[in-house]
Amino acid sequence: MDYRQIYEEWMKNPYFDGETRKELADIAGDDKEIRERFYADLEFGTAGLRGIIGAGINRMNIYVVRRATQGLADYIKKQGGENKGVAIAYDSRRMSPEFSMEAALTLAANGIKAYRFESLRPTPELSFAVRHLGCIAGINVTASHNPPEYNGYKVYWEDGAQITPPHDTGIMDCVKAITDLSTCKTMDQAEAEQAGLLVTIGSGVDDAYIAELKKLVLHQDSIDAFGKDIRIVFTPLHGTGNLPARRILKEIGFENVYVVPEQELPDGEFPTVSYPNPEAEEAFTLALALAKEKDADLVLATDPDADRLGVYVKDGQSGSYIPLTGNMSGCLLAEYEISQRKAITGSLPEDGALIKTIVTSNLADEIAKGYGIRLIEVLTGFKYIGQQILSFEQSGKGTYLFGFEESYGCLIGTHARDKDAIVATMALCEAAAYYKSQGKTLWDAMLDLYEKYGYCLDAIQSVSLKGIEGLEKIREIMETLRKEPPTQIGRYQVLSARDYKADEIRNLATGEVAPTGLPRSNVLYYDLTEDAWLCVRPSGTEPKVKFYYGVKGRSLEDARALSAELGQQVMDMIRKML
């Protein structure tokens, strides 16, 4: 059926509730809107669903959630895992409680026990809960840092990481096999609870999660000595981070934690920001005002599902607050965790590894080299870091020391298998206390890091292209670059071009071709002269194409100038394609 026929089916089929049909009746005269909602199914991708909330097959609604969950249930049964159960969490977004309940009831109707959190919880706790409860899978209803009109549905497997091959394609195939939404099973909530197929979870998992975080503290002595002197401003940006972040900081000994009152409570409308993303400067407006009032040492913001952490640190000399990118905070934490582990134990494991994604700073490479540990590079997406941890466990070879990606996410420890802004909050505050014991601020420690390893600076530009036309334009940009790779970008020559979709690295000087060694993915990467680089990939969660790039300067000022110049040249190159 074409999009009009599917629209008409939704309008007349009594399976769809009256509110849904009224919403569709209101757009009866808008063919473009009907097409946007019904031209294709909302894609169940390698991590699950993400889209605008509304009626239609290309929107997030209870029927699309049921279909995704029915597909997941069918796959779980194929794997013989129906007796293990599924953990379910959700965030503060519009319809998150409703979507999580729909998922739970579909699982229950399929005879699979659903462990659903009593109220909103952060993504890393869901990852922890999957393994803690011995579940076969997990579902998290969240759209992370997307605007308020979005919601999403992430699927995790029994190792606690988001799904990777072969489970991702296996689940996708089961979802695609469902062509009639009315065949998706569901049941009454009271009946599911009475049958023991819907179990509410909460404080027990919270306590176990927090206990695991406490085990990761390296310098309780520094916290005991200076925790009462460190002033911390924190904002959960109306999301899930408020209670767990405050709890862990209080329990390990930080007394001066000031929460931004306007952003403290959960609110899916995100009324104080247009975009609840700790990568955005706007997200820190209220927090920085509070920081100046309280003379804070550091300012922290978690995104709505609390897997990403944004950071500002105080410069002790100027008194100003300096933003740390995800690369900067990730490298700062990597250096702290690895150096102090070595200092405390006297050595590092011979098979120790630092893991990063292909769009993450080359400063991570230098840190790994400095400590003589293995640097592992994976595709973008924290699930690939989780996949490496699982491989270490299964093979008995490899010790996870730290992992992070540029998008403000890292994982300390292996209690979870997704990025964890709660443990990052704890560790950064601990690091602040430790460096204070050395007479330094976190910004001093960052400058020391640059002096030690080199002034690697990284940035990102993106172009948003919404709708069907936008998706086509993104495809055109990728194909143009794929067929005609640049040989020069500003002052830099392109040394090699990596095409992860074709699984090849081409040396532009010799023409020699080698495999990338990573799974196929729609990503292009250019190694440039002077230790610079550029990577291009469509976003997996938003309608945009992203351009990541890095430079290496002689000083911080030099690196900043080079980064600004390369960023401008990249955008000039892309504008010619638009």
| Cα 10 from Cα 55, distance rounded (Å) | 9
Q: What is the mean pLDDT of each run of 10 residues along the chain (578 residues)?
A: 94 95 96 95 84 96 98 98 97 97 98 98 98 98 93 97 94 95 97 98 98 98 96 98 98 98 97 93 97 97 97 95 97 98 96 97 97 96 96 97 96 97 98 97 97 96 83 89 91 96 95 94 95 90 86 96 95 85
Residue 350's contacts (CB-CB under 8 Å, 6 or more residues apart) are: none
The two most distant CA atoms of the chain are separated, in Å, by 72
Say what the pLDDT of residue 541 is.
Answer: 64
Residue 30's contacts (CB-CB under 8 Å, 6 or more residues apart) are: none
DSSP class per residue in 5-36: HHHHHHHH-TTS-HHHHHHHHTTTT-HHHHHH
Q: 166: cis peptide before it, omega within 30°?
A: yes
| Cα 414 from Cα 215, distance rounded (Å) | 11
Tell me the C-alpha to C-alpha distance, in Å, between residue 75 and each of 49, 88, 104, 199, 285.
Answer: 16, 17, 16, 21, 45
CB 420 within 8 A of CB 307: yes
Please, what are the domains in the chain? Answer: 1-35 (no CATH), 40-201 (3.40.120.10), 204-453 (3.40.120.10), 455-575 (3.30.310.50)
| Cα 45 from Cα 119, distance rounded (Å) | 26
| Cα 62 from Cα 141, distance rounded (Å) | 12
Say what the pLDDT of residue 110 is.
Answer: 98
Say what the pLDDT of residue 1 is.
Answer: 82
How is residue 102 written in tokens?
Answer: 């729909």
Say what the pLDDT of residue 465 is.
Answer: 81
Strand partners, 343: none
Say what the pLDDT of residue 68 is.
Answer: 97
Rounded to two decimals, what is the model's pTM?
0.94
How many residues are there in the chain?
Answer: 578
| Residues with catalytic roles | 144
CB 507 within 8 A of CB 496: yes
Say what the pLDDT of residue 464 is.
Answer: 85
Strand partners, 460: 548
CB 138 within 8 A of CB 130: yes
Say what the pLDDT of residue 91 is.
Answer: 97
| Cα 203 from Cα 141, distance rounded (Å) | 19
Residue 357's contacts (CB-CB under 8 Å, 6 or more residues apart) are: 377, 378, 379, 380, 381, 382, 384, 385, 405, 406
Q: End-to-end alpha-carbon separation of the chain, Å?
A: 32
Output 35-39 pairs: Cβ under 8 A, ≥24 positions apart: 35/3, 35/468, 36/467, 36/468, 37/3, 37/7, 38/3, 38/4, 38/6, 38/7, 38/10, 39/3, 39/468
**Segment (H or E) for 116:** strand 114-117
